[in-house]
Amino acid sequence: LGKCLLSPIVLAAYAYNRSLNDLGFGERSENEPGVLCQLFSFLMAFFGLAPNLLLLAMALECWLSLGHPYFYRRHLTWRLGATLGPVAAGLCALFCALPLLGFGVPVQYCPGTWCFIRMAGDKPRELGFPVLYASLMGLLVLAIVACNVSSMRHLYGMARRQPRCGPPAAAAPRMEALDHLVLLGLMTVFLIICSLPLIIRAYMGAIAADFDENADLTALRLLSMNSIIDPWVFIIFRTSIFRMFVRRVCRRL
């Protein structure tokens, strides 16, 4: 959904060879971002944060189902799962709308096809939201990593309890546990790599007033890559050829 909403705006800017501020409608002052730039900034912030909230819900479900199956069976229902998605999206939308109300400053990034929250400045109005955004992002990443590491520990224990050899039917649960273990490990590593640069840039901007547009743009691109990489990791890993390759490596190890 994020790619479908954001990509047409970027393509339109390139097609007309104009920046987002120039494409926007309505009157604005010279230093004020346009309406389209503010919308793009809101969508970037929302789709940078909302997937992590959903990932946290998935990580919590995985951790509870593996580590606390009786609690999971008794308290986690389909209705609760269906409610969590809209509630998380609504809370995330309210939080990311704060810059539209004056708490935070949307800014256009070079080459004029990106807008995001200004991550450096000398005013509380400029610094408050990016620090809060980075702190929330960091807490989400820590919680996701903690849940995934605990789930990986449970999966490793399950794999060790399964027979190493014997008929294929007996060894299947062990290999399935190892499949999930490697998949969770890869997704956790990619989440940390893609999220940390933005968190670091926000704190550097607040502490040292370091407004480096190229560094901010790199951090934003890495954050966007996380939602692209995760589905591909899942798709590629679930193919039979790749799983067979991983199983052979695991057997050799």
Query: For every one of its 253 residues, what pLDDT tens digit does the chain have, with 9 covering 90 and above?
Result: 888 888 888 888 888 888 777 776 655 555 667 777 788 888 888 888 888 888 888 888 888 888 888 888 887 788 887 888 888 888 888 988 888 777 777 777 777 788 878 776 666 666 777 888 888 888 988 898 888 888 878 777 776 766 655 555 444 555 565 666 777 777 778 888 888 888 888 777 777 666 677 777 888 888 888 777 777 777 777 666 666 776 677 677 7
**Cβ-contact 226, 51 below 8 angstroms:** yes
Count: domains in the chain: 1
**Cβ-contact 246, 178 below 8 angstroms:** yes
Tell me if the pTM is above 0.85.
no
Q: Which residues are bridge partners to 114 per DSSP?
A: 109
Exposure b/e, 117-135, CB count within 10 A at least 16 = b = bbbbbeeeebbbbbbebbe
DSSP β-ladder status, 106-109 and 114-117: antiparallel
CA distance 170 to 242: 21
Sign of the torsion formed by the C-alpha atoms of 21, 23, 24 and 28: positive
* Angstrom distances, CA of residue 121 to CA of 4, 114, 118, 241: 31, 19, 8, 51
Residue 117: what are its φ and ψ, rounded to 5°? -75, 135
DSSP letter, residue 38: H
The per-residue pLDDT for 209 is 64
Report the CATH number that the domain containing residue 245 is assigned in CATH: 1.20.1070.10
| Matching residue, tokens 């008794």 | 74
How is residue 79 written in tokens? 């209705």
**Cβ-contact 155, 234 below 8 angstroms:** no
If we measure between CA atoms, which residue out of 121, 146, 125, 120 comes closest to residue 200?
A: 120
CA distance 238 to 179: 9
The per-residue pLDDT for 149 is 84
How large is the angle between the packed helices 240-252 and 168-208, nearest 10 degrees? 90
The range of the structural domain enclosing residue 175 comes to 1-251
